[in-house]
Amino acid sequence: MVLYFITGSKYKFAQVKDILAPEIKIEQLEIDLNEIQEIDFAKVLEHKLKEAQSKHKGEFLVEDTSLYIDAFGQLPGPLIKWFIKGWGLEEIYNATQKLGKTSAKGKCIFAYSNGKQIKFFEGEMLGDIAKPGKNDGFGWNPIFKPKGFDKVLSEMTHEKKIEIGMRKKALAKFKEYYLKRNE
C-alpha cells in the first residue's frame, strides 16, 4: 500500500520525502481538506485524517506546526497562522518584549493513519521570539530564534533548518515506528 503525505506544498513534500527515503515510499496527495480551528492539535489532525479517508483510500500522513509562546500562556499553538494574520510578526515580537517573556517552543506534529488507528509523532524546538529577520514568506520563521543560535530560522540556510528542525525530529520517530510495524 502507498503512503500518502497530504500537502499542497512541493517544498514540504520534498523535505519529508528526503527524510523518509529510501526506506519508505511516499507520494504527495493534494486534496482540499477543511481544517478546523482548534487549540488541540490532535483534534485538528484527526479531523484532517478522517476527511482524507472519506475522499481517498490509503495510508495517510498529515502535519501541523504550532508555536507556543510563554508570554501568551502557551498560545497560539495551532492558531499561529491567525495570530500572524491578525497581529503580524512585528506586533507578536513587540508584545513579548512588553511582557518580558520571549521564550517559545515550536512543534511539528505528524499524524499517521492506516484507516484503523491514528498515531502521533512530535518534534519540538526551543527558542525565543526575536526581532523579525528577513521575511522568507514562511509563517513564524522570521521571529523564531532557536536556542543556541544567533539567527532566526528565516536567516538560516535550508540545510541548517532541516538539520536542527522539529520536522526532522518528528519524522525520525515516525520512520522508526513505520519500519518496525512493516517488518
Average pLDDT over residues 18-34: 90
Task: Please give the residue range of the domain that contains residue 52.
Answer: 3-181
Render pLDDT for 48-96 as a digit per residue (tens, 0 to 9): 899 888 888 899 999 999 999 999 998 999 999 899 999 999 999 999 9
Render pLDDT for 36-46 as a digit per residue (tens, 0 to 9): 888 888 898 99
> CB-based contacts of 42: which residues, under 8 Å, 6+ apart?
111, 120
Counted domains in the chain = 1
**CATH number of the CATH domain containing 157:** 3.90.950.10
State residue 137's pLDDT score.
Answer: 63
Q: What cell does 9 get?
A: 506544498
Asked whether residue 134 carries a pLDDT value surpassing 80, the answer given is no
User: CA Rg, the chain, in Å?
Assistant: 17
> How far apart are alpha carbons 37 and 42 in whole angstroms?
11
